[in-house]
Structure 1
Amino acid sequence: MAWVLVVILALIWGTSFILIKKGLVVYSSDELGALRMVIACAALLPFAIKNLRKVEPSRWKFLLGSGLLGNFFPAFLFAIAETRLASGLAGVLNSLTALFTLLVGAALFGQSITWMRMLGIVIGIAGTTILIFTGNGNAELNNMYYGLYIVLATIFYGISANIIKHRLHGMKAVAISSLALLTVGPVALVYLLTTDFFYKLQHVPGAWEALMYIAILAVFSTAIALVLFNKLIHISTTLFASSTTYLIPVVALMWGVLDGEVIHLWHYLGMVVILAGVFIVNRAR
């Protein structure tokens, strides 16, 4: 069951980066991030209402933490990054989630970390350095700096994964996902109302098509995938759950290449080094 969820999640999340790219054709990164949260929250709203009164008051702060760090901030950070970064490379950098899940678990939640796992983290960071800070010319290098937004997002993902595992255990996956989104959805909606989203929807060519891509992104990559990921965390470990990042880069790069993105040799080198680090972290004892 766990491996089936890993494959499904990799396919869903691996496709999310090209969907972000398609949505950014019309909408700004802020509009896309807010819209993604609003639609995802709406999709799971019936489940949130059903579970609203079942939550212990002491757990709301952790649901808010998961909502902000596992959903809200990453939605904006990935959108900002992909205004200048190829979607395939965004998918590669997402692999850092596994490394930061371990680091956060060790630093804040008392999980053990061996020297071999520490080596894997160092290797992963080295791969990130190769991918982000290697380029031909200042313009390309400046674009690659946008990868740092994704690095920050993966740190947030790592914190959220540990919050779910250690502070929200015993709750059903759909309850965690829907209630976490409920804590951030209304804020995203208020912000969306201050943007040019509705004007673009009425007057900009291709706006409805871009909205369709964002809706698919929100429903599948955010709402449904979040439920599956939280379920995976509960039936396995945070580290095993984050191993979805092995397959996500492959799917993301495939979509990027099919869409005409140019991926250079050093990008592949950085990807291999990052995944080697993730492999060592997951295999080490």
Structure 2
Amino acid sequence: MTLQNRKWIYLFVLSVIWGTSYILIKKGLDGFNPVQLGAVRVVLAGLFLFIIGFKSLRTISKKEWPWVALSGFVGSFIPMFLFAFAQTEIDSAIASILNSLVPLFTLFIGFFAFGISFGHNQLVGVIVGLVGAICLVVFESQINPSQNYWYAGFVVLATICYASNANIIKSKLDDVSAMGIAVGNFSAIIVPALLILPFSGFFSQEVTTGKYFWSSLGYIVILCIMSTCVAKVMFNRLVQISSAVFSVSVTYLIPLVGIFWGILDGEEFKLQQLLAAAIILLGVYLVNKKKTPK
């Protein structure tokens, strides 16, 4: 299989896995609060990765460990908690659409932090995407006025974290194996998660005997294995064989999967929301558009 074909296969599979993650988070919140969900997700994913890829830690050199640790916090630890908090107030479909902002922030962070240049079309794309995100939040607040849409800010912060991580992997960890990055990430973040978990009330009788404890735990296990472990390794590899901006273009397809699951779960989704989503994706398209040679 050619490298080009492999890139597109990775992109499609990741969109399906990550597009499904938002409904899994929503179901996980039936039995757990955001802190419990985030902490147990890190712990379970970390344990699973250690079992299947502990030996890959050898691919990480001493000078690369600080970047691997930073990648773990901005690419996994912080976003896991941010999305959990966000989805206590906003629909899973809306969270999946707002996640499309990742390529826009990848461009800006690549420029300001790593000196990667960008052109006029890309700047316009960032502006268009941000306008679409604002429209989406405004339209959604009109359709569901009972929800607190300031919580959409948690998703925006998470997308900035994801964008930072893509640039870190591409510029600092290109020589580390994809599995090594993933296992190294969770080696750094599993300790704080283990400290948080007992203080979150996860082991309290009220939680463990709750109506949704086992079903929510089952959804989190699926979330950990597929959306965190399998997808994490695939994404790291995708960044390495392509570019940071191309790799986060998975967000083109994630909203389609997220909207599908949201509607299936009874979430309301109207034409104006679809229009706002289209504006965001137009911005992402402009960001990724290359100049045609004269």
TM-score, with normalisation over the residues of structure 2? 0.93
Alignment size in residue pairs = 285
Structure 2 match to 1:65: 70
Q: Provide, for residues 203-224 of structure 1, a one-character-per-residue CA deviation record: whole Å limited to 9, x for no partner.
A: 1112011000011111110111
Structure 2 match to 1:206: 212
Contact kept? 2:59, 2:177, Cα under 8 Å: no
Matches within 5 A, 1:9-24: 9-24=14-29
Structure 1 match to 2:126: 121
Q: Displacement of 1:52 after TM fit?
A: 3.3
Q: 2:233 aligns with which of 214, 223, 227?
A: 227
Q: 1:131 aligns with which of 110, 114, 136?
A: 136
Output the CA distance in 1 between the equivalents of 2:190 and 2:63: 21
Q: Structure 2 stretches of 5 or more lacking a match?
A: 1-5
Contact kept? 1:116, 1:280, Cα under 8 Å: yes
For the aligned residue pairs, the C-alpha RMSD in angstroms reads 1.6
Contact kept? 1:47, 1:178, Cα under 8 Å: no
Q: Structure 1 stretches of 5 or more lacking a match?
A: none
Contact kept? 1:132, 1:141, Cα under 8 Å: no
Output the CA distance in 1 between the equivalents of 2:63 and 2:141: 51
Contact kept? 2:100, 2:284, Cα under 8 Å: yes
Q: Pick closer, same or farther for the CA change 1:136–1:192 going to 2, 3 Å.
A: closer
Output the CA distance in 1 between the equivalents of 2:141 and 2:54: 52
Matches within 5 A, 1:1-285: 1-46=6-51, 49-135=54-140, 140=145, 143-199=148-204, 200=206, 202-285=208-291
Q: Pick closer, same or farther for the CA change 1:188–1:27 going to 2, 3 Å.
A: same
Q: Pick closer, same or farther for the CA change 1:234–1:135 going to 2, 3 Å.
A: closer
Output the CA distance in 1 between the equivalents of 2:247 and 2:62: 27
Structure 1 match to 2:3: none
Output the CA distance in 2 between the equivalents of 1:201 and 1:134: 35
Q: Pick closer, same or farther for the CA change 1:47–1:257 going to 2, 3 Å.
A: same
- The alignment-based identity, stated in percent, is 39
Output the CA distance in 2 between the equivalents of 1:51 and 1:284: 36
Q: Provide, for residues 153-185 of structure 1, a one-character-per-residue CA deviation record: whole Å limited to 9, x for no partner.
A: 000100000000000111110000111111001
Contact kept? 1:134, 1:141, Cα under 8 Å: no
Q: Displacement of 1:47 after TM fit?
A: 5.0
Q: Provide, for residues 58-102 of structure 1, a one-character-per-residue CA deviation record: whole Å limited to 9, x for no partner.
A: 111111111000000000000000001000110000111111111
Output the CA distance in 2 between the equivalents of 1:63 and 1:148: 26
Where 1:146 maps in the other structure, the secondary structure is: helix
Q: Displacement of 1:11 after TM fit?
A: 0.3
TM-score, with normalisation over the residues of structure 1? 0.96
Which amino acid in 2 is paired with 1:188?
A: A
Q: Provide, for residues 239-263 of structure 1, a one-character-per-residue CA deviation record: whole Å limited to 9, x for no partner.
A: 1111110100000000000000011
Superposition misfits of 4+ residues, deviation over 6 angstroms: none
